[in-house]
Every structure is written in C-alpha cells, then in structure tokens.
Amino acid sequence: MERDEATRRTFVTGGIGAVTAGLLAGCGQTGGDDGTPTDDTTTTDRTTTTASGESESVETPYSVSIDPVGEVTFESVPETWVANNGSWADMGIALGLEPPKGVWLKNRYHTQYYDAVPGLSVDKSDMVSLYQEGGISDEVFYELDADVHVMDPNFFMNRFKGWNRDDVEEIAENVGPLFGNCIYAQHYPWHDDYRYYTLYEGFEKLAQVFKRTDRYEAFVDIHDDFTATLAPHVPNASDAPAGAVLWGVGDNPESYYPYIIGGGTGFKHLRDLNVRDALAETDIKDFHGSRDAIDLETLLDVDPEVLLLRGYEGKTEAEFQDTVVSFLEDHSLASALTAVQNGDVYRAGGLYQGPITNMVLTERLGGDLYDVDEELFDRQRVVDVVNGAF
C-alpha cells in the first residue's frame, strides 16, 4: 500500500532495511552493541533527561543492535512505542516509560500483577491489540504511529500467514523501526539460526534504546537481592516437586495443551524455583511443536506431583479455586490425580514476563510450592526506580 512520504520516520534509520539478507537467513548484522554511534556517524551533543531525572549531554545519533534486526540508529530518543508482548511491555514499565500503545494480544498482558506492588499501576484501557480477527493489518501500525516497534520481525513472517518481508519493511521504513527478539520461549524453528536473549539481556537492550540504563542497572541490583533472598527457600532440583505445566481448556478442563519447561522468559520463574518437569521424560510432545492436546487419561498416566495450569491468569486465586480446582476435585478421573488429591493445583503464571512481573510470579509460585510467606523483593525500591527517585 502506497503512503504519503511525509509519514516516513526521519529520526530513526537502519534496522530492517539494512539487514534484509540477514533477516531472511534468520541472522542479523551486529555492531554498536554498546549503544554508541558507529564511527561513520556524525554526532551531535544534545541535552536529555536521564532516568534519574538529571540532565546530561547525549551524543546523537546513537546506535543499538539486537539479533535478528541488526543495528538501528536513533537520531533522538523514541517517545512512543509498541511492544510484542508483556515481556517487553513490563521492561518498559520498569524503565519508567509510558505503557506501549499496542501489544500483540492485550488480554495476555496481565497488568493485574502490578497490584502486588503498592504504588505501581498500569492502565491498558487505551492499549490496542495488534492481532485482531485472526490476522494483523498494516493499518493498525499507521494508526498507532509509534516511534519504535519492539518486536522480532521474524515473528511477523512466521507466526501466521499473511505477512512477508516487504510488509515488515514497509512498517519499518514508513512508520518506525523494529527492534526486538522473540524471547518468551525457545521453541520456534525459525529462531534456530540466531541467538536468544535472557530477560535481563533483552532488558539492557531496551534500556539502551530509551537511554535509561541507570534504571536497568538499578533493577539488576534489585534482582540480585531478590535471588539471594529466594535461594534459601528453594530445594535442590533433585528434591523439588515434579510438575506438569499445562494450558487448561476452559473452566472445566478435560483437555490440556502441554508445555515442556525450557528456556525463555516465560519459564524463568519455574527454572529459578527448580521445578522438575514431569512431562519432559514422557512421549508427550510440547504444544509449541505439535499443537496437540492431551486428555485426562493421558495426564493420569503421568500423574505429576503438581499441576501448574496456564490460561487462568485473569482469575484471582479464589476464582481459580472455585471454578477449575473445584471441577477437578469433583471429576471422576481428575479427582484421582495425586496433585488434585493433595491440593497441589496452582496457576502456573503467564508466558510473558518482564523484570517486575517475573519477581511477582516467582514469589507467588514460591508461596504455593514451598510455603514462602515473606516478601522476597522490596516493593518500595521497585516503585522508586520506576519513578526515577533513586
């Protein structure tokens, strides 16, 4: 679709158009990894406000790189943005940014997690779902008119039918660049040819884009303290419970989509809690690769110690108990499961986790699994960093 050339972003360059060949191959060009301008870029001193509220001189343009996009050069700090999912959205909240104007699926960005942090809230009422009615239109990107799209371009071209390289390049050239990596799980075959980033590696990249590395560094310290506080509560892997991570189908689930615990931000809390995977040594295939469901008979054959159910993050603990757990307890087959009989059926936590929501979910599941009854991270310290008061 042709557009008025006036809509083209002029303050950001590089990105998709600069790494077309690498994009198709699944590998991006690298360079400028420390967020500094490349040698052949003219620099200008500009004054900007840092995350701590102090003014400093910033050289512009500046460049940041991420696989598979490669290097993106910014002539000024982006103000508006779109995020692929709640992992990246939460990173932006931690950096003190306004919420993204859009995410892939708005209902899977669980802003109710912030209720666990007094003084922190996120309003997503005006946020837009990029994926609508079984597809995604370029019109939504033009309407949102974001300065940067924190999304993996390969996600567009491989996650569903309808978009190709030209479509992605059009958005990058006419609206704003793409800058992202699909990091929530490590299962897509199209991601095999380029690196994944850990939660904090991705967080650092985003902080470089928005020139808020001081907040990133403050969150690293918070997470270090969180990890140290958590450690005494977590048993060795050999002593930890064997759990089955499943996406339940409906409030009366008799079918389940199985998830194998692996890499990615969506499994970080499970890894940090040393949860053993009851499905990993069975013939059951991961949902991401097979798209298949299992039934209660199959689940009873595995009979995990703990059931960790996804798909219910929109429910409170009481609502989850009154619907899903009550159904399992009353069901002729499900009631025979060890986890159901022992009361070890829990919400597993969402797939999309950033630095704040990961700590919230890790603490929540730590309470479920190991009876941890203390706060594992300093809420006020988190709020202070978000607000730049540190």
pLDDT digits (tens, 9 = 90+) for 323-358: 999 999 999 999 999 999 999 999 999 999 999 999
Pick left, alpha or beta for residue 96 (phi over 0 → left; psi -120 to 50 → alpha; otherwise beta). left
Q: Please say which residue of 207, 224, 241 terminates a domain.
A: 224
Based on the fold, state whether residues 117 and 235 are members of the same structural domain.
Answer: no
- Tokens representing 79 are 């103000």
Specify the number of domains making up the chain.
2
Q: Are residues 138 and 186 in the same domain?
A: yes
Do residues 205 and 316 share a domain? no
> What is the longest distance spanned by two Cα atoms in the chain?
71
| More confident: 257 or 13 | 257
Tens digits of per-residue pLDDT, 284-333? 998 877 789 999 999 999 999 999 999 999 999 999 999 999 999 999 99
138 and 58 inside one domain: yes
Give the end of a domain, one of 164, 192, 224: 224
- Inter-residue contact 82 to 100 (CB < 8 Å): yes
Domain span at residue 338? 231-386
Q: Last residue of some domain: 174, 191, 224?
A: 224
For the cut 70, the answer to whether the pLDDT of residue 22 exceeds it is no
pLDDT band at residue 360 using 50, 70 and 90 as cut-offs: very high
- Strands, E assignment, 239-329: 242-248, 255-259, 276-277, 294-295, 306-310
Q: Are residues 125 and 141 in the same domain?
A: yes
Same domain, 197 and 217: yes
**Are both 173 and 295 inside the same structural domain?**
no
Q: What pLDDT, on a 0 to 100 scale, did the predictor assign at position 288?
A: 76
Same domain, 47 and 196: yes
> Residue 30: what pLDDT?
31
Q: Are residues 13 and 137 in the same domain?
A: yes
Average pLDDT, the chain: 87
* pLDDT reading at 95 higher than 70: yes
- Asked if 201 and 282 sit in the same domain, the reply is no
Residues 216 and 293 in one domain: no
**Neighbouring C-beta atoms of residue 133, cutoff 10 Å:** 7
The domain spanning residue 283 has which CATH number?
Answer: 3.40.50.1980
Do 155 and 18 lie in one domain? The reply is: yes
